[in-house]
Structure 1
Amino acid sequence: MDRDQLLVLYRNMLLARGIDRIEQELTSRGEAFFHLSGAGHEGTAVLANHLTPEDWLHCHYRDRALLVARGLSPRTFFDTLLCNEFSPGSGRRMSAFFNDPKLHILSMVTPTGNNALQAVGAAAAIKQIENTPLVYCGVGDGTTQQGEWLEAVGEAVRSNLPVLFMVQDNKWAISTTTQGKTFYSLPDGEQATEFFGLPIHYINGTDVVTANQQVGEIVAEIRATSKPALIVFQVERLTSHTNADDQTIYRDQDDINEAQINGDPILSAKQQLLAMGFTESELKIILAQVNDQLEAAKEEAFAAKTPLTSLHASKQHPVEIIHPSKEKFGSEDLPQVNMKDALREVLKNHLLDDTRVTLYGEDIEDPKGDVFGVTKGLSTRFPGRVMNSPLSESTIVGAAIGRAMVGERPVAFIQFADFMPTAYNQIVNELATIHWRTDGQTSTPVIVMIACGGYRPGLGPYHAQTHESVMAHCPGIDVVMPSSAHDAAGLLNAAFESERPTIFFYPKTLLNNSAETTSENVHEQFVPLGVARKKRSGRDITFVGWGNTVSVCEKTAEALEQAGIESDVIDLRSLTPWDQQLVLSSAEKTARLIVVHEDNHTCGLGSEIVATVAENAKVPVAVRRVTRPDTFIPCNFENQTEVLPGFKRTLAVAADLLDVDLDWEEAPEKEAGVEYIEAIGSGPADESVEVVEILVQAGETIECGDPVASVEATKSVFDITSPVDGVVREILCKTGEIVKVGASMFRLTTDSSIRPKPITQEQHGIPILRRRKSENTIVLTPSPPERRAFDVGLSNVQFHKGSRLITNEFLLGDSVDMTSDDIIRRTGIRQRYWVDQNEDAISMAVGSCQKVLEQEGLLIDDIDLLICSTTSPMSMTPSMACRILNGLSFGKDTMIQAYDISAACSGYLYALQAGYDFLQSTPNGRVLVTTAEVLSPLLDLNDFDTSILFGDAATATVLYGESHLERSAAKLHRPDLSAKGEDGTTLSVPLRNSGFIQMKGRRVFQEAVRCMMSSLNRVCSREQFQVDELDLVVPHQANQRIIDAIQHRISPKVFSNIANHGNTSSSTIPLCLSEILPTAPRNETIGLCAFGGGFTFGAGIIETL
């Protein structure tokens, strides 16, 4: 080092010492509150002579002179001391901790040693860059006992990474002496010469000239070899640990004095400058210049303002990341993939599109490709970017943070959520805080992917936890947990796009779930963060779940549906941020909320959700949580099913909340002497297995332990063996077949005593639910005194059907594949009526209206409102109602209200409600309701499944206000209606001459039964009686199977005339009433329910008079 270089170094050391002096003065006067000195450590500044702009520094908190030498201004030190608006973290960091991305100074850590793993990650990211940059990692001697520092050195050695580890040894860890207590200072007084194979370079940090030469040589070697180096930089601590410490309490005064005399690198540098020819006066001038510079910087810092308070710890999302409208779905028309394959494809696409993306975790390289196969094939395609890590979660996450801080987009894999706590320090203290503590100057877009959850045999207390509440509690990170392949793909794409730290939990039991697949174009799918997904809509109760518990919520909702109870099922999927608006609006609507989660009860995320609802709901909401009790998850699977929230417990809680009686019908016992061999998987992610080879034949005698089939699962190919001696009576699978885990593959007869099989799924039996009247009914709002609703009556119904009788035989023609009986078995329809060329919807509607007016002794001028329900309008303008009115007026200028209703097959009930509401304001009025349905021209006769269903008919009904109630055949209660949006892919009726009716029968069946039952229960509940108290139920006549399904769920007789008319859309219910009302006894209560495209649905009640 020449005299000019030494003078620059001397000046930087003086600046650092002067900063310490002023900070100490200010804290002593109460103008600042925390000071941590670097006095005695200034010799580390020699490193700056050998660094390039491409090098990165992850400094020790006493590296103050090195920071000055790197270019950090004195003003920055004082801004940080005073926590003002210009400090690097906008007042968020304590005064000893800095960052400056332009100077490649990484955000300094407060938990000592946390920087070491990050330095290793940064070094891995820059190793291949030109100019051979390195990463400096400074720590104190006490820090070397931190496990993460030891891990970092091991990883740097193992991976040959260009890291300069500098241990600044001042022999103290606050008040604890470190001599004889470190890896290099041994208990017997000797000094170690190497560590993990690295030579230990001991450098006297008080002799800056010699230190400069030694450090330069070591740095040059790192650049030449790209391997790490380890320096023990021996210094003295010349002050107390901080302004809050008094070293005289624990440190001998002679030791303190000796350090001041012989351990000050500034005094040593001064002596060497004097020896080089500088004079005392020249050095005093430099000192004065330094002091003037520092005084000016201090005053500038005092002039700065207090920073604005920020209430956010994370980078704020643009609207494209969080708005519900930005969700992009897959397509049912494309090949489907499960969650595992969807995750792999998303990762592959981002590896292709962005060279900054890397994957790092245990066992993720081929041939293993992750223990669940999520990364299978990726390391082969992207060598060097998909990498196995050491068995250390803290190393995985810490290194990923380092990679992110220097510009990469790392994905860190933690094999099981149970092992996440070993990385908790790096996640919570570093990953979560860096954006906040640097005021956005540094970001760490790390995605931590974690397999989680239970619900599979073979899992136990360290392979079955989720820990999402721990992560969700931490500000600064997003937390997600998908339950479907689409959500997995969409949320992972969102995590990449958000560039925020993300904890991505994925339930391992759902990885191969064939029921929740998505299309293979996963790169196009997107799920906005903080937006939940409503899986099912209802008005009686809200379920909120995520991950594995979504299916529990759905199964519970399906069971409640049998009792006609509607459920909102919300898959939260994004846990931080979470969709407060959707949950709150649903809870306010249903007044009942159950949150179901795997994590344990106390302080689980469910607590936050119900507290938020309790604080913000505008109506009373009854809340419950179904969670894992405050215990751990046992390996015994029967015990596990009782500990984790399951169907039985969730349904019981829901039944209690809904005032529903719940009983359980036990499953039938197995046949004596018969044993079934079931499919098993090789791991907890196996939803199904493929039969590779069947090893036995029907009739063959086998022994316990004999292999019966070879199957392929996600982890391996293996043999399934017989659990008993016996004879194979039936083979229930075939080679190449995909068999669900738990499904029977072989039926055996046996004389052996059959040991009970281990439980592999929750044992709950069949639920029997029955609504009960309760005094505890939740009332959303106090019911103010209201006037009595006016009664509304309903006349007998008249109708006009198409004149062409269409039999099944006519539709079958010359077909030999199906008979009329086959159609009857599938639909219940024997015949239907279609219009001929001289008929249309208007003529039939006019005809039926004329009949009902004549029946009731009325003229069209006696009618106050005409409503036409139609799915097949002949024109949009004029409306069908106006055209029918024209047909009824016979040229007269009749003036009444008239309009159409388009609510598909539910249109009659929609029209009844509109008429009922009109008559509340006009109790002496009359409403003419007509349904006009001509569907046959919209049928594709080549689409046999649809064309056999529909017929043509029009009907007419008069509704009477209370003043004319005596003329009515029945009293009408106000119908209860609802709808939910559908894009038309399930059921659509096109405009005339623009296509044909299209329908997906299975989906329609499921929705129709569910919606009609729930609507019927709802209207009965509102009218204060049970469905079973009805005398008759008239459902929309869509298909006899739907009618039978409703009959199976309730005890009253369900009326059907579909055999003679087919499905005539909104005309079906009035056609039924045309048969029922003329002969019905007085005081019978009849329930009406309908379901139609859209989807629309509803129910009503009439009482015969």
Structure 2
Amino acid sequence: MARVVLDLERGEASKSSGPGAAVDPELLIQIYRFMYMSRKVDDREIMLKRQQKIFFQVSGAGHEALLVAAALAMKPGYDWFYPYYRDRALCLALGNTPEEQFLQGIGAAADIASGGRQMPSHWSNPRLHIVSQSSSTTTQCLQAVGCAEAGRYFSRHPEAAEEGSGDYRQFKHVEFHGDEVVYVSLGEGATSQGEFWESLNTASNAKLPVLFVVEDNEYAISVPVEVNTPGGNISRLVANFPNFYFAEVDGTDPVASYQVFLEAVAWCRSGSGPAFVHGHVVRPYSHSLSDDDRLYRSASELEAESLRDPLPKLQMRLLREGILDAEAINRLERQVDEEVRLAAERALRSPLPEISSIKKHVYSEDLDPTALIESKPAVSADHQERTMADLINCCLSDELRRDPRVVIFGEDVADCSREENLESGKVKGKGGVFKLTAGLQAEFGSDRVFNSPLAEANIVGRAIGYATRGMKPVVEIQFFDYIWPAMHQLRNELSLLRWRSNGTYAAPVVVRVAIGGYLTGGSIYHSQSGESIFTHTPGVRVVYPSNALDASGLLRTAIRCDDPVLFFEHKRLYRETYGRAAYPGTDYAIPFGKAKIVRPGSDVTLVTYGAVVPRALQAAQKAQREHGISTEVIDLRTLNPYDWEAIAESVRKTSRVVIAHEDMLSWGYGAEIAARVADELFDDLDAPVKRVGAMDTFVAYQPILEDAILPQPEDLYLAIRALAAY
């Protein structure tokens, strides 16, 4: 572990290790030019905001010295960058132009970051490897960790980079260098977020080449650092993480900062582990133009901070050391002023996005999983019927074998993390709490199937980084009931990455989730449903098979498509006798958005999915047997997209429809279909639309209570009878 410590009294960094670096005069001039340009872009944006020509402004003023130093120590288009909204100077020094930054502020169609979809200062540039940034503080940390893991994987498995056989976009040729570094930055306030600590944990454990940069201006909007951070200093809290290079530096001093970043980057490139640079900077402007820091900072505090502003400090140094005289500085500044002015004027003339572009890039346009043709199961000598659990395991094995970029991780998914126990035969191996990944680590190795920490955000966040870098992660959330810590990553990152970057980045992650009740003792925290929360999220596909064959075909489509997929697997169905099937072969795939009529009928339509499908069949059989009611049962199979055409065709035939699901009735998945049926098929109905769902409560432990809470075959039977008699 290396360490550089800031002498807070002298404002200098004392070096304990590193290659050493003299900063020549030309480099100091270059640093000043980038710093001044960053400040002038900020100032021009502020003027444009006051003229109502842009609509939001957040500045990077006071952070420029630290960030230009970081950029000059790294390699754009070689290393990878996960910045945050103060990082204007970093992006300019990496190669972003002032015009590109103004285009984002205006929301122009030509904005390379987002095409007018993101606020300004949400950086993205594929050419420079600046990955699209969201407004969610700290989510980028876990993604940076996943990106670094993917880079390491490619260096160990060059065949994966050269010969990826997948169809989706990221499976084209991937460049890797073996010593790339992943930069990620955040403010001192964001270090309070749990995902920050989760990212340090994994980077430390795996000795990943991630450069963490904390830009500490002492305020998270109006909340001072001592309220966010015990002791007011994050460096003291993280100091015991192993394998790190640590540095605390005066971030208003570009020379000290540059020295520290050279050492930090060298540490990461050498494979020694991650680095942590804590830069003390200032915030001479308010948090944003929506904020007035005079409401919570005294005049004396603001005046004292202005004396540490890095821009006049470096200007004075250039004069004091005779590197530039006043005339030369004025000439440089006039050149930058004119460059910034002209860039803003060009941006203001740039066309705005077309309304017709709004829905573009919500989903992949390279491989549409709804456009596939359902293949037929392969004819095989092995006709043994297998469970859903068996065929999911077979599909995962097939896809790992087919494509070297597929990796699987999550809690308990490995056979045994202590490989010596597995290799020596001392243990059989676990392979998931439901055994769905059993044997995969033993066959494909620990680089491809491995355990994660017990942290759901960690799983999904890292998976996004893997996928952005060009891999195909298939991750597991052990129980749907514990998916909520990952909600930030699922809702604000995974589903949005393609759209917010205007199609320049994507994260085709598959998230497998065990879901549902009917377990006899599953209780509150092992029986939840809640799929409608995710079908309400654009950008992610939601799949929910009811039987083994569908699970195999839909999972294969999920892995091979170019969209993020939530793949719900009902726990009760894993080993049910219902729905067993023979192994369908390595290429069996089912398109998304294509329902299956599992029982034809003419009197009533029953639309459902998941574990309610076998219960609906029981109800339909009883209604036919006892009352001669012919019920058509439709298994949706995928919930987003869903097969509206199949529903509409059936309702036009039967004129009566029941929509059933395991989740609570109110605000459940069926409400949207019911509303659409009433809206678009009203003239075809001979009875009200009927819904069947669980009670508006939680699932209880006692089986008598569980049975009463969840929809049973009898509930469906009564609904069928009621509609038939209407």
Q: What is the distance in 2 between the residues matched to 1:329 and 1:124?
A: 36
The reply on whether 1:85 has 2:132 as its aligned counterpart is no
CA contact (8 A) 2:513 2:567 kept: yes
Residue matched to 1:1016: none
1:319 shift after superposition: 8.0
Q: Does 1:326 align with 2:374?
A: yes
What is the distance in 2 between the residues matched to 1:531 and 1:323? 10
Which of 122, 146, 149 does residue 97 from structure 1 map onto? 122
C-alpha contact (below 8 Å) 1:193/1:199 kept by paired residues: no
Bigger proportion of residues as helix: 2
Partner of 1:595, secondary structure, is strand
1:481 to partner: Cα distance: 0.4
Partners in 2 of 1:104 and 1:318 — Cα distance? Answer: 21
Q: Is the 8 A contact 2:413 2:449 kept in 1?
A: yes
Q: Could you give the per-residue CA deviations for residues 325-366 of structure 1, whole angstroms, max 9, x where no partner exists?
A: 434345587423321121112111221222211111000001
- Mapped partners of 1:441, 1:257: distance in 2: 43
Quick check: 2:409–2:452 contact (8 Å CA) kept in 1? yes
Whichever residue aligns with residue 397 of structure 1, its letter is: V
> Which of 363, 366, 370 is 1:315 aligned to?
363
* Matched residue type, 1:628: A
1:75 matched to 2:99: yes
Distance, in Å, in 1 between the alignment partners of 2:373 and 2:450 is 37
Aligned to 1:630: 696
- Tell me, yes or no, if the aligned pair for 1:594 and 1:623 is still in contact at 8 Å: yes
Identity of aligned residues (%): 34
Q: Secondary structure at the match of 1:86?
A: coil
Alignment of 1:112-151 (within 5 A): 112-128=137-153, 129=155, 130-151=177-198
Residues 380-437 of structure 1 deviation map (CA, whole Å, 9 limit, x = unaligned): 1122111100001110001101111111111110000101111111100000111110
Separation in structure 2 between the aligned mates of residue 131 and residue 356 of structure 1, nearest angstrom: 17
Structure 1 residue 271, shift from structure 2 partner: 2.5
- The residue identity in structure 2 corresponding to 1:577 is P
Question: Paired residue for 1:49?
Answer: 72
* 2:179–2:271 CA contact under 8 A, matched in 1: no
CA distance in structure 1 between the partners assigned to 2:378 and 2:715 by the alignment: 34
Spell out, residue by residue over 1:943-998, the C-alpha distance to the aligned partner (whole angstroms, 9 max, x if none).
Answer: xxxxxxxxxxxxxxxxxxxxxxxxxxxxxxxxxxxxxxxxxxxxxxxxxxxxxxxx
Supply the distance in 2 between the matched residues of 1:76 and 1:166 (Cα, whole angstroms): 24
The question of 1:461 aligning with 2:524 is answered yes
Q: For residues 677-700 of structure 1, what are the alpha-carbon distances to aligned partners after superposition, in whole Å with 9 as ceiling and x for unaligned?
A: xxxxxxxxxxxxxxxxxxxxxxxx
Q: 1:368 aligns with which of 430, 441, 445?
A: 430
Aligned to 1:13: 35
Taking the aligned partners of 1:9 and 1:101, their CA distance within structure 2 comes to 24
Number of the residue aligned with 1:492? 555
Higher relative contact order (CA 8 A, sep 6+): 2
Q: Which amino acid aligns with 1:359?
A: I
Pair 1:269-2:331 in alignment: no
The whole-number CA distance in structure 1 between the counterparts of 2:404 and 2:551 is: 22
Unaligned 5+ segments in structure 2 are: 1-22, 156-176, 416-428
Deviation of 1:323 (Å): 3.9
Picking from 485, 501, 506, the partner of 1:438 is 501
Change in Cα spacing, 1:522 to 1:484, as seen in structure 2 (3 Å) is farther
CA distance in 1, matches of 2:361, 2:317: 49
Match of 2:88 in 1: 64
Q: CA deviation at 1:149?
A: 0.9
Structure 1 residue 259 corresponds to structure 2 residue 305: yes
With over 3 angstroms needed to count, the CA separation of the structure-2 counterparts of 1:286 and 1:623, relative to structure 1, is same
Q: Could you say which residue in structure 2 is the equivalent of 1:168? A: 215
What is the identity, as a one-letter code, of the residue corresponding to 2:690?
Answer: R
CA deviation vs aligned residue, 1:834-884 (integer Å, no higher than 9, x gap): xxxxxxxxxxxxxxxxxxxxxxxxxxxxxxxxxxxxxxxxxxxxxxxxxxx
What is the 5 A alignment of 1:460-609? Answer: 460-562=523-625, 563-609=627-673
Return the offset for 1:379: 0.7
- 1:100-499 → structure 2 map (5 Å cutoff): 100-128=125-153, 129=155, 130-179=177-226, 181-182=228-229, 185=232, 191=236, 194-197=239-242, 198=244, 200-261=246-307, 263-274=308-319, 275-309=321-355, 310-311=358-359, 314-316=362-364, 321-323=369-371, 325-329=373-377, 331=379, 334-335=382-383, 336-366=385-415, 367-383=429-445, 384-499=447-562
Q: Using a 3 Å threshold, how does the CA distance of structure 1 residues 324 and 141 change in structure 2: closer, same or farther?
A: closer
Give the CA RMSD over aligned residues: 1.8
8 Å CA contact 1:59, 1:136 repeated in 2: yes
**How far has the Cα of 1:222 moved from its partner?**
1.6
Question: In the aligned structure 1, how far is the partner of 2:107 from the partner of 2:430?
Answer: 50
Cα distance between partner residues in 2 of 1:478 and 1:192: 40
CA distance in 1, matches of 2:658, 2:227: 59
1:889-928 aligned within 5 A: none
CA contact (8 A) 1:160 1:228 kept: yes
Q: Distance in 2 between matches of 1:554 and 1:578?
A: 20
Q: State the alpha-carbon separation in 2 of the partners of residues 550 and 237 from structure 1.
A: 59
Report the Cα distance in structure 1 between the residues aligned to 2:649 and 2:624, rounded to whole angstroms.
Answer: 21
Q: Distance in 2 between matches of 1:382 and 1:284?
A: 63
Task: Supply the distance in 2 between the matched residues of 1:248 and 1:502 (Cα, whole angstroms).
Answer: 47
1:482 & 1:427 partners in 2: Cα distance?
21
Which residue is 1:900 aligned to? none
Residues 603, 195 of structure 1: CA spacing in aligned structure 2 closer, same or farther, 3 A cutoff? farther
**Aligned-partner Cα distance in 2 for 1:394–1:193:** 20
1:629 Cα deviation (Å)? 1.3
The yes-or-no answer on 1:656 pairing with 2:722 is yes
Q: Is the 8 A contact 2:245 2:274 kept in 1?
A: no
SS class of match (1:230): strand
Size of the aligned set, in residue pairs, is 657
Any idea what SS the aligned residue of 2:598 has? strand
Change (3 A) 1:56 1:226: farther
Aligned 8 A contact 1:313 1:433 in 2 = no
Contact 1:532 1:582 in 2 (8 A): yes
1:769 maps to none
Structure 2 equivalent of residue 953 of structure 1 = none
Shift of 1:521: 3.4
Could you say what secondary structure the match of 1:179 adopts? helix
Q: Deviations over 1:879-910 (max 9, x none)?
A: xxxxxxxxxxxxxxxxxxxxxxxxxxxxxxxx
Paired residues for 1:1088-1103 under 5 Å: none
State the one-letter code of the partner of 1:281: E
> Which protein has the larger Cα radius of gyration, Structure 1 or Structure 2?
1
Counterparts of 1:648-797 in structure 2, within 5 Å, are: 648-659=714-725, 776=726
- Structure 1 residues 193 and 509: alpha-carbon distance in aligned structure 2, compared to 1, 3 A threshold: closer
Whole-Å separation in 1 of the counterparts to 2:365 and 2:693: 31
* C-alpha distance in 1 between matches for 2:344 and 2:451: 50
CA gap 1:587/1:192 in 2 versus in 1, 3 angstroms: closer
Question: Aligned-pair distance for 1:491?
Answer: 0.9
The TM-score normalised by the length of structure 1 is 0.58
Instruction: Tell me: CA distance 1:183–1:379, structure 2 relative to 1, closer, same or farther (3 Å).
Output: farther
Q: Do the aligned partners of 1:330 and 1:518 also contact (CA within 8 Å) in 2?
A: no
Which position in structure 2 is the counterpart of 1:847? none
Residue 525 of structure 1 deviates from its aligned partner by 1.1
Is the alpha carbon distance of 1:246 and 1:591 closer, same or farther for their aligned partners in structure 2, counting shifts above 3 Å? same
* Counterparts in 2 of 1:192 and 1:38: CA distance versus 1, 3 Å: same
Query: Is 1:345–1:522's contact at 8 Å kept on the other side of the alignment?
Result: no
Secondary structure of the 1:622 match is coil
Q: Which residue of 2 aligns with 1:2?
A: 24
Return the offset for 1:31: 1.4
SS of alignment partner, residue 81 of structure 2: strand
Q: Deviations over 1:548-575 (max 9, x none)?
A: 0011111111111212221111001100
